[in-house]
Structure formats: C-alpha cells, structure tokens
Amino acid sequence: MSFTVFIAYSLGRYFAFQTNFFDLGLDSNSVWRTINGYESWSSLIFPSTPGHINHISPILGLVAVAYAAVPDPRTLLVIQAAAVTFAIVPLYLIALRETRSQLVSLIVAGLYLINPGLHGIIRYDFHPEAFIPFFVFLVYYFYSASRPGLFYLSVGLMLATIEYAAVLGVGIALSLWLTKKRLDKRIVTTLASSIFVLVIIIASTIGGAFEVFNWPSNWLAVQFFGATSSQGTNYALSISGFWNSPGILLTSVENNITAKITYLLIITAPVWFAAVKYSVRVIPALPWLGVVLISSRYSYSSIDFQYSVFLIPFVYLAAIPFISRLRKQRNLLLPLVALGLCVMLLYSSISPVGPHQWPQPSPLFATVVSVSNAIPENSTILTQSDLYPQLSNKAYVSINYSLPEPPQYVFVNTRTTWYDWTNPSLGYPLSTHQQLSRLTSQYSYRVIFEDLGLQLYELNARTPIDSSSGSPKTSGVATLGLSLKSERYLQPVINR
C-alpha cells in the first residue's frame, strides 16, 4: 500500500508540474544523455561535466540500465518509491532476528513507513540518496547474518549513492566496533573503504587532484556552500573559527533553532528516547546531526528534502531494542503507534490534513507533452525549471543557456513563478524571462504556439502553427509540427 501511495504522490507531482530541474530533470537528462551516447559514463557517475548531477553517485549507472528499458523521467520516480518502500524488508528482518517478535518487527517497519521525513524524500523529486536507508539496512542485516559477500556488496552500494555516504560508512564501522567490542575483517573493510572514499573527496576538492578527469577543484564546496570556490573558502574559515571563537559556533546553533528542534523531533518521533538510550546505534547519524544544528541552510532542517536519509535509518535501528523492551507492556505500544500516526498526519507531505495539498494534474500536461514530442531531439532549447522534466529526454535543453549560438526553441510558461526564478548563489543569475528578453532583443524569434501562459518560440520561425491541421504550414523548409489531441490547445499567434 505504501508503495502505491508513494508512486501516486510522486507521479501526481509530475503531472502537476511540481517536479522540476532540481533534481528530477537534471538526473533524467544526465541519464538519458549518457545512455544515448552524448556523454561518457564517467560524466554521469562522477562530478565532471557541468550540467550533470555533479555528485559522486556511481549508483546512477545501475539506474541508467532501468532507464534505458523505460526512458521516461517517471521511471526514476518509480525506482525511488520502490527503494524507499522496500527498505522495510531488511529492517523487518533485522528486528525479527533481534527480537524474535513479529509484532515488534511490524511496529518498527510501520513507524519507518509513516515517518514524515521519509515522505519528504518522496516529495522532493528524485535523488540517489533515497537508496541509503535500503542499503544501510542491508549492511546491518548481512553483517548479523554472517554473509560477508553480500555484506561487502551492500557496503559498496551504499558508498555508491553519494559522497556523504562515506561519512556514514565510517560511523557504521565505529558503531559495529563498539557494539561487538572487537574488530573483524568486515568492520575493518568498511572503515578502510569509507576512509578511502573520503580521501578521494578531500583530495579532489582541496588539492584539485582529479582535474585531469575534468573534476572541478571546488566541486564539493559548490555543492554545500554555493557557486564559487571563494564562498567555500569563507565557510572553511568559519568552520576553523569555531575552535578559536566558540561564540561563532553558539551563534550558528542558535540560528533558526526552533525550526531545527522541530525538525529533529519530527524525524525521531515517536521513539525519541531510543536515540538516547541506544546511542551507539545512532553514531553514524551524529555528523549530520551536527550539520543540521550548525548550518543555516533551510533544506538541512526541513522534512521536505532528501537529507533526512542521513538520520532516519539509524533512528529505527535504535528503535528496535527500545520497542522490544516495551513488548511486555502492550498498553504502551498502542499509544506509541497512535502518536506516530498523529505526527505523520500533522507534518507529512502526503497527509490529507498535512501542510501540503495533494497534487492535482495540470490541464496543460497533455499540451506540454505534445510540444515536447514535436521538438526535434537534437534541437537546442531554453526552458524553465518546472517544464524541464518533460523536456529532459532532449540532448540540448537548459534552464541556464550558455552556448554561443542562440537556442532554436524557447518553451516557457509565463504564469508560473519559475518563469522569473533566479538564484545567483547556485549559478543561476538570470531568470528564464530575462534570458528570453535578451534573446528576442538580439535575434529573430517568433511565437509559433501559445496557450494559457505556455509560449513556444522558434528561432527565425517562418510560419505559425495551423490550428486546423495541428501542424505548421510549410514554405519550402519544414518547421515544428505538433499533433495534439484537442484543438482547444491550438492557439496560433499570427501577429505579435
């Protein structure tokens, strides 16, 4: 049931144009370009070519195999929903092995599925981080099952999700070491491999060791701190200043402290005591907990982003012995589950009474799909963030156009906020509207299609769309052809 709800919600956002360039469009375009030979595989899984996801995420290589079978952005949403949902299988098996109680195992798995932070992952497009709970639970399950081969595979897959997984790997190794009170080959391998990945990350970021492979020397600083290396340097100086000036650290923690505390209470609800009582199990989550407390970045302390995956798995690993201790006091288990449901209803993005409305399909969806299908695959296109996913199976589509030649097509929706969106700190100083204004002032563009705010511009267009035939009139040179199911969408613009 959860899998169905997660898919329905994800696809609902897609049909409502609530997914965007960050990150469904970016991921789907990167995968599509790679499997169709426009980019190398290294540009997909390593932080190399600008315009790709710009994280160390080798797991995208496996995702690309599924995408090749069904090349559609919605494939990524289905894969993500499956990864998030089916993480309950190893979690349930871990709980069952430790407690020998189906009731405890079901409660732990159920509380995981109703965590609002987990629903935030589903809400916010597609991210490789969504695989982390599944792989973390597999690591713990195969360690206890004494299956070294599958354990090493699970560790490798976890480290392949995103660069921060290396920090989790170090924490997992330390947690297992303290739990078992001894080092074994599996723990040493996990620790060594995680540190090895961290060394690569540090070397590539600080020393520029991999510039020969087109890795930007400041790529990690850009990911966390902004668009320039100087910004990353400033933050690094601030971090070093924590040691010399503890007041800086206190000020950072106090910044938006109410939101941070609220976030942590929601993520760990209703098993707050478990994280304290079984603190060894949450050791891997402590570094990210520090990031949440110190950072002023809104997305790090919001349940509507993907970063909760760095905390959630370890909350429920600690919840297993906690709930097991309550097994003999069943009068406490029901209120515990009820409390978890209440938190979900109040804060979850998929809750009918939560902070977000369930997405409704846009009446323009069929139009946008038809326009996308009609634009030639190798055309250069400028568009805006909320339309980007529908155009992501195009070779040269951008929301931040930088090629020397003007784009052949510009596709916008003037009635959405994304039309005027900018974010200079992320490297997007000009809105689509501003870029379009510059282009139309320098080059000959003509609107060949318009409907309810949607506008399609063609460079040096010769003819508008013929509403009677659903395709443009031709005059020696074929132009864009549209085939729409309903003629009400066809609003040719003859004079502008």
Q: How confident is the model at residue 456 (pLDDT cuts 50, 70, 90)?
A: very high
For residue 8, with 0-12 CB atoms within 10 Å meaning exposed, 13-18 middle and 19 or more buried, which class applies?
middle
**478 sits in which H/E element:** none
User: Rounded distance, CA 19 to CA 399, Å?
Assistant: 14
Domain-located, residue 419? yes
**190 and 307 both lie in a single domain:** yes
Q: Which is nearest to 122 in space by CA: 82, 91, 90?
A: 82
Mean pLDDT of 186-203: 92
3-class state of residue 286 by DSSP: helix
485 pLDDT above the threshold of 50:
no
Kindly write down the DSSP assignment for every residue of 96-139, as one continuous string.
HHHH--HHHHHHHHHHHHT-HHHHHHHHS---GGGGHHHHHHHH
Last residue of a domain, one of 297, 315, 347: 347
**Residue 440 confidence (pLDDT) above 90:** yes
Same-domain check for residues 332 and 370: no
Residue predicted with more confidence, 6 or 256? 6
- Mark whether 371 and 403 lie in a shared domain: yes
Closest CA to 10 of 119, 118, 122: 122
Of the pLDDT bands very low, low, confident and very high (cuts 50, 70, 90), residue 244 is low
Average pLDDT rounded to a whole number, residues 377-384:
95
Using only C-alpha atoms, the chain has a radius of gyration, in whole angstroms, of: 25
For residue 403, is pLDDT > 70?
Answer: yes
Whether residue 475 sits in one domain with residue 447: yes
**Given the DSSP bridges, would you call strands 445-451 and 454-459 parallel, antiparallel or unpaired?**
antiparallel
Q: What pairing do the DSSP bridges indicate for beta strands 471-472 and 396-398? A: unpaired
Residue 258, Cβ density class (10 Å: 0-12 exposed, 13-18 middle, ≥19 buried): exposed
Other C-beta atoms within 10 Å of 327: how many? 14
Question: Pick the residue with more confidence: 26 or 230?
Answer: 26
Cα–chain center distance at 331 = 39
Structural domain count of the chain: 2
Question: Domain range holding 410?
Answer: 365-489
Residue 257 domain-assigned (yes or no): yes
Of residues 11 and 254, which shows the higher confidence score? 11
- Kindly state whether residues 383 and 338 are assigned to the same domain: no
Predicted local distance difference test score (pLDDT) of residue 467: 38
Phi-psi sector, 245: left (phi>0), alpha (psi -120 to 50), beta: beta
How many residues are given for the chain?
Answer: 496
Q: Which residue has the higher pLDDT, 225 or 350?
A: 350
pTM, whole model, 2 decimals?
Answer: 0.87
Q: How far is CA 338 from CA 58, 92, 107, 276, in A?
A: 40, 20, 11, 21
Q: Are 24 and 391 in contact (CB under 8 A)?
A: no
- Quickly state the pLDDT bin for 221 (edges 50, 70, 90): low
User: Does position 482 have pLDDT exceeding 60, yes or no?
Assistant: no
Task: Say what percent of the chain tops pLDDT 90.
Answer: 67
**Any domain includes 358:** no
The per-residue pLDDT for range 129-166, each reduced to its tens digit, is 999 999 999 999 999 998 999 999 999 999 999 989 99
Query: Rounded to whole angstroms, how far apart are CA atoms 138 and 149?
Result: 12
Residues 385 and 329 both lie in one domain: no
429 vs 491, residue with greater confidence? 429
Mean pLDDT over the full length of the chain:
85
> Is the pLDDT assigned to residue 468 strictly greater than 50?
no
User: Which pLDDT band, with edges at 50, 70 and 90, does 492 fall under?
Assistant: very low
Residue 481 has pLDDT above 60, yes or no: no
331 — pLDDT class (breaks 50, 70, 90): confident
Which pLDDT belongs to residue 54? 72
pLDDT confidence bin for 231, thresholds 50/70/90:
very low
Tell me, yes or no, whether 468 lies in a domain: yes
177 and 261 co-located in one domain: yes
- Is residue 8, in this structure, part of any structural domain at all? yes
Q: What's the pLDDT tens digit per position in 280-311?
A: 999 999 999 998 998 888 889 999 999 999 99
More confident residue, 224 or 167: 167
> Quick one: pLDDT at residue 471?
44
Does 110 share its domain with 23? yes
Asked if residue 496 is part of any domain, the answer here is: no
Whether residue 360 is contained in a domain is answered as no
Whether residues 192 and 332 fall in one domain = yes
Q: Which residue has the higher pLDDT, 233 or 423?
A: 423
Last residue of a domain, one of 347, 379, 398: 347
Using DSSP, state whether 423 is helix, strand or coil: strand
Whether the pLDDT of residue 237 is over 60: the answer is no
Q: Are residues 343 and 454 in the same domain?
A: no
**What is the average pLDDT across 332-337?**
90
CB-count burial class (<10 Å; 0-12, 13-18, 19+) for 378: exposed
Q: What is the pLDDT of residue 44?
A: 84
Q: What pLDDT is attached to residue 219?
A: 59
**Do 271 and 136 have their domain in common?**
yes
pLDDT greater than 80 at residue 493: no
Q: What percent of the chain has pLDDT over 70?
A: 82
Residue 110 shares a structural domain with residue 176:
yes
Confidence class for position 208, pLDDT limits 50, 70, 90: low
Q: Is residue 235 part of a domain?
A: yes
Q: What is the pLDDT of residue 216?
A: 65
